[in-house]
A and B are shown apart, each in its own frame.
Chain A
Amino acid sequence: MFGNHAGFIFAAYGIAILVIVVLFVWIVVDGRSQRRQLADLESRGVRRRSERSVDGGTA
């Protein structure tokens, strides 16, 4: 179906899928790590300045 150069075609699509999957996993793992750290800080009562002003100055 893919002629004499099937190996080159599969290698091109394979490397494309691999790089895109690695990029996607990296972004998802990074996002989970950031949300976990943010939740940890919030659970300790740390608030951003803008949030504290909304809360009426309470930290």
Chain B
Amino acid sequence: MRLIDYANPTRFLGLSAALLPWLAAVTAITFAVGLYMVFFVAPADYQQGETVKIMYIHVPFAWLSMFCYMTMAASAFGTLVWRHPLADVSAKCAAPIGAAFTFLALATGSLWGKPMWGTWWVWDARLTSVLVLFIMYLGLIALQETIEDPARAAKASAILTLVGVVNIPIIKFSVDWWNTLHQPSSVFRMGGSTIATSMLVPLLVMAVAFTLLFLVFHLMAMRNEILRRRIRAMRMIEAAGAE
């Protein structure tokens, strides 16, 4: 069986039902290991002190805010090029999860910024571009909910999603292109990570845990959306039969 065959909604429902319990269990174990390392193994930072613990959730949220959007963009490409219904389901279901993670990146960053920078918020390029990403998520959710016909909603939101991809490199490189209060990249950068291994390992474990959480939520939401579309189709059949 080819990989594309699993993109059939009925096969997807079967496969995801079998996969979800295992994925949820691995997610829970990864979180347990990650949180143990954060609170009982990772040392305090020599400058930030214990406040560095916020970074173990802030950084994964920031990564996932972009990862969710790129998932939506790949799905939007699938919607426009192959018009595959599952691609649109994927894009639609990733939006609220991406919005939640982006909100948490902004909120936890603000809670770190107040004690470390002395301010909750600055209009620097990194913070502003992430705020723009959050607003884009809300706009896409609103667009999907506004257009009643799923096919038209899918096409419109796919186009807007692909246009919005331009913001992702701006977020990533904003700290290099402009003078920002936000520190430059310290994990994925030319020349390797600048973070001590004792802090890098818990950070990466937490990043894996949150990525797995995203996959669990995304699969669950996609299953709901497939059922929602089936219900819509069945109601239309019922209404047509009643006429």
How far is the CB of B156 from the nearest CB of chain A, in Å? Answer: 23
* Contact segment of B101-109, B136-144, B183-191: B101-109
Inside 8 A of A19's CB, which chain B residues have their CB?
100, 103-104
Interface size grouping (class) on chain B: 35 or more
Interface string of A32-53 (1 = CB under 8 A from B): 0011011001001011110000
Inside 8 A of A47's CB, which chain B residues have their CB?
234, 237
Taking a contact as CB atoms under 8 Å apart, the answer to whether A23 and B51 are in contact is no
Contact of A11 with B111 at beta-carbon distance under 8 Å, contacts A2-B53, A4-B49, A23-B96 already known:
yes
Contact of A48 with B237 at beta-carbon distance under 8 Å, contacts A5-B51, A16-B108, A23-B96 already known:
yes
Contact of A3 with B49 at beta-carbon distance under 8 Å, contacts A24-B217, A41-B238, A44-B238 already known:
yes
Taking a contact as CB atoms under 8 Å apart, the answer to whether B111 and A27 are in contact is no
Taking a contact as CB atoms under 8 Å apart, the answer to whether A30 and B231 are in contact is no
Size of the chain A interface, CB-CB below 8 angstroms: 33
CB closest chain-B residue, reference A34: B227
Inside 8 A of B221's CB, which chain A residues have their CB?
27, 30
Which applies to chain A's interface (DSSP): helix, strand, loop or mixed? helix
Taking a contact as CB atoms under 8 Å apart, the answer to whether B233 and A23 are in contact is no
Taking a contact as CB atoms under 8 Å apart, the answer to whether A15 and B234 are in contact is no
Contact of A16 with B104 at beta-carbon distance under 8 Å, contacts A4-B49, A11-B111, A41-B234 already known:
yes
Contact of A23 with B217 at beta-carbon distance under 8 Å, contacts A12-B58, A47-B234 already known:
yes
Of B61, B97, B112, the contact of A8 (CB 8 Å cutoff): B112
How far is the CB of A58 from the nearest CB of chain B, in Å? Answer: 13
Bound together, the chains give a CA A1 to CA B100 distance in angstroms of 29
Q: Is B235 an interface residue (CB 8 A)?
A: yes
Q: Is B114 an interface residue (CB 8 A)?
A: yes
Bound together, the chains give a CA A6 to CA B95 distance in angstroms of 32
14 CB contacts below 8 A, A to B, read: A5-B51, A9-B51, A15-B107, A16-B61, A16-B104, A19-B104, A20-B213, A26-B96, A34-B224, A34-B231, A38-B230, A48-B234, A49-B237, A59-B241
A-B pairs, 10 with minimum CB distance: A34-B227, A3-B50, A12-B111, A5-B115, A12-B108, A12-B54, A5-B51, A31-B224, A2-B50, A3-B49
Q: Which A residues are within 8 Å of any B CB, using their own CB?
A: 1-6, 8-9, 11-13, 15-16, 19-20, 23-24, 26-28, 30-31, 34-35, 37-38, 41, 44, 46-49, 59
New A-B pairs, 14, CB < 8 Å, besides A4-B49, A20-B100, A34-B231: A2-B50, A5-B49, A8-B115, A9-B50, A11-B111, A12-B58, A13-B53, A15-B111, A16-B108, A27-B220, A27-B221, A38-B230, A46-B234, A48-B234
